[in-house]
Amino acid sequence: MDGTILSVITFLPLLAALVVSLLPRANASVLRGGALLFALVELVVAFGIVNVDPSGAMSFVERHAWVSAFGIDYGLAVDGISMPLVLLSCLIVPIVIATTFNLVQPDRLKEYLVLLLIMQTGMIGVFASTDIILFYVFFELTLVPLYFLIGMFGGQRRIYAAFKFFLFTAAGSLPMLISILYLMWHHKQTMGAYSASIDDLRAMTLGSTEQMWVFAGFAAAFAIKVPMFPVHTWLPDAHVEAPTGGSIVLAAIMLKLGTYGFLRIAMPILPDATREWAGPLLTLSVIAVIYGAYLAWAQTDLKKLVACSSISHMGFVTIGLFALEPDAVRGAVLQMLNHGISTGALFLIVGAIYERRHKRGIDDFGGLCKVAPALGLALIITSLSAIGLPGLNGFVGEVMILVGAFQTHPWVAVLAASGVLLGAIYMLQMVRRVCYGKPNSPEAAELTDMNLVEKLAFAPLVVLMFWIGLQPGFLLDRIGPSVDLILNAMGNS
């Protein structure tokens, strides 16, 4: 037992949501300030978990019986994989709160903040759970707030997008529930008692046919969340209709719940099925990489472009995971963080531009670097980070994934590398059209630059892009041992 720091980190946002919901509605700056204060305190507290066990084992373990009849525990812990993801969640939320200026419905700022904070509890809970039912509970807890964020604060087709998002993700999570029930029941059959602890479920052996089915249940939930081709169609709608903050959280953290679930639950508990399914899933991932890139290439709307590029980039992550090679899996975990940082930053910039012009077409702008130099520079750095320029964060992850994947599945790596190329094409083309040349309209020529708050909020993301790009060792030293533990356990069973 290492105290209660993870419980504090997990539930502090929920407490914050409660406090914010009691603040007066009329005063927007008090609401925003209160929420921001909580989110910053949360960030500071979260740094307390940086020093995870260097052997890669679970640290800061908390475990209490919850529903003892079913062997369900309230169990929290983090290792080198989940720690950075928890920290990323704690970093993104204050950035979102600080940069929320122009809501569609300004008088409902309170609801917006409350939903955001509830969502934070859900996301951190998913990353920190060591019990599969607790994992499921938090997994579902993230759905409802995001559904409302899109439905209440989104664009024209927000209700359609919110419904689509919710039904897709819920349709995935219920097969997962059945898989979870089956695992728990199987534990009872073989070990004599129910258990929902992920470690216990890892320790038991399942026949390979059973594994295939149970894996299919998990894959339904996680593949939709990632999202993998062909269940990605909810993502562009959700992203385009969501308010900026919703898009940032969705891209930066929510999508990682899927890949994290594969890595934490599906792969270690069902090693045989993972190997069996790896081929098809790699194929789908390669399709996602290339198809997502083509989709992005064809977009004329900035936000849609970023959303489609997300599909492509998350394809890289799943390639890394299912290559089942240590370097590739490490790269995949790092790339989960990188994608969170880069795509989160891209949505932040697109949101900032949209708030100024209420337009998002690529051709509505031009000459951004002259008109608003800081905004232009931010867009350039972030785009370069997203396409994997050496020296920035995206490069490290992509190279590790490609090198690793090449050793086990050379063709996958070759095809995926062509996706990198496509990524460079559409991103740079977008940057050229938005940042350079002449402003396309009088309004485009009068765009205001980033204000101080936006610069301050953006700064940590840029720092992270360079830091991970130049010093990836700090994170990799922590990710590596935890990944090895999972892969070794898979090899032995």
CA dihedral sign of residues 459, 464, 467, 470: negative
Contact with other proteins (CB under 8 A) among 159, 193, 298, 459: 159
Calculate the alpha carbon distances from 365 to 109, 243, 246, 309, 442 in Å. 29, 21, 24, 20, 10
Q: In the chain, what is the straight-line distance between the N-terminal and C-terminal CA atoms, in Å?
A: 28
Distance CA 70, CA 73 (A): 9
Query: Hey, CA dihedral for 166, 168, 169, 171, is it positive or negative?
Result: positive
Give Cα 143 distance to the centre of its chain. Answer: 14
| Min dist. Cβ of residue 118 to other proteins (A) | 12
| List of residues 6+ apart from 283 with CB closer than 8 A | none
Q: Is 219 in the site for other proteins (CB under 8 A)?
A: no
Question: Does position 23 bind other proteins by CB under 8 A?
Answer: no
Does residue 135 interact with other proteins by CB under 8 A?
A: no
Which of 174/463 has CB closer to other proteins? 174
Instruction: Name the token pair of 211.
Output: 């594994």
What is the total count of residues that contact other proteins (CB under 8 A)?
35
Cα(114)–Cα(109) distance, integer angstroms:
9
378 counts as binding other proteins under rule CB under 8 A: no
* Residue 28 binds other proteins (CB under 8 A): no
Residue 288 is inside which H or E element, if any?
helix 271-298
Distance between CA 124 and CA 12 in Å, rounded?
Answer: 11
Could you say whether residue 459 binds other proteins (CB under 8 A)?
Answer: no
Question: Of residues 166, 218, 277, 322, which one binds other proteins by CB under 8 A?
Answer: 166
Contact call for residue 222 and other proteins (CB under 8 A)? no
Per CB under 8 A, 151 contacts other proteins = yes
Residue 133 contacts other proteins per CB under 8 A: yes
Helix (DSSP H) and strand (DSSP E) numbers for the chain? 23, 2
Per-residue mark of binding to other proteins, 89-118 (x: CB under 8 A): -------------------x--x-------
- One residue of 92, 103, 184, 296 binding other proteins per CB under 8 A: 184
Does 483 sit near other proteins (CB under 8 A)?
Answer: no
Q: How far is CA 281 from CA 229, 238, 258, 315, 316, in A?
A: 9, 24, 13, 10, 12
* From candidates 15, 19, 40, 137, binder to other proteins by CB under 8 A: 137
Measured from the CB atom, the residue of 151 and 292 that comes closer to other proteins is 151
DSSP annotation string for 368-418: HHHHSHHHHHHHHHHHHHHHT-TTSHHHHHHHHHHHHHHHH-HHHHHHHHH
Distances (CA, A) of 139 to 107, 135, 160, 174, 436: 29, 6, 22, 11, 42
69 part of the interface to other proteins, by CB under 8 A: yes
Does residue 411 touch other proteins according to CB under 8 A? Answer: no
Choice from 5, 45, 61, 140 touching other proteins (CB under 8 A): 140
* Cα(352)–Cα(359) distance, integer angstroms: 11
Nearer to other proteins, 128 or 405 (CB): 128
* Beta bridge pairs of residue 63: 75
Among residues 18, 50, 65, 421, which is the contact residue for other proteins, using CB under 8 A?
65
Which run of H or of E encompasses 73?
strand 72-78
CB of 250 to other proteins, least distance (A): 18
Strand partners, 361: 301
Question: Smallest distance, Å, CB 172 to other proteins?
Answer: 9
Given the complex with other proteins, which of 186 and 330 has the nearer CB atom? 186
Cβ of residue 318: shortest distance to other proteins, in angstroms?
A: 24
Contact 240, 233 (CB under 8 A): no
Asked whether position 450 contacts other proteins by CB under 8 A, the answer is no
Cα(130)–Cα(99) distance, integer angstroms? 33
| H/E stretch holding 63 | strand 59-67
Choose one: 7-15, 35-43, 135-143, 283-291; the region binding other proteins (CB under 8 A).
135-143
Nearer to other proteins, 133 or 465 (CB): 133
Q: How many residues does the chain have?
A: 493
Which of 18, 30, 50, 171: binder of other proteins (CB under 8 A)?
Answer: 171
Closest distance of CB 182 from other proteins, Å: 6
Neighbour tally for 476: CB within 10 Å = 21
Our finding on whether 414 is near other proteins (CB under 8 A) is no
How far is it, in rounded angstroms, from Cα 231 to Cα 284? 10
Applying CB under 8 A, does 170 fall inside the site for other proteins?
yes
The single residue among 30, 67, 459, 470 that binds other proteins, judged by CB under 8 A, is: 67
In the list 5, 8, 23, 181, the residue contacting other proteins (rule: CB under 8 A) is: 181
CB closer to other proteins, 257 vs 427? 257
If the CB atoms of residues 25 and 438 are measured against other proteins, the closer one turns out to be 25
Residue of 7, 23, 28, 182 that binds other proteins (CB under 8 A): 182
- Binding residues for other proteins, rule: CB under 8 A, are 65-70, 108, 111, 133, 136-137, 140-141, 143-144, 147-148, 151-152, 158-159, 162-163, 166-167, 170-171, 174-175, 177-178, 181-182, 184-185
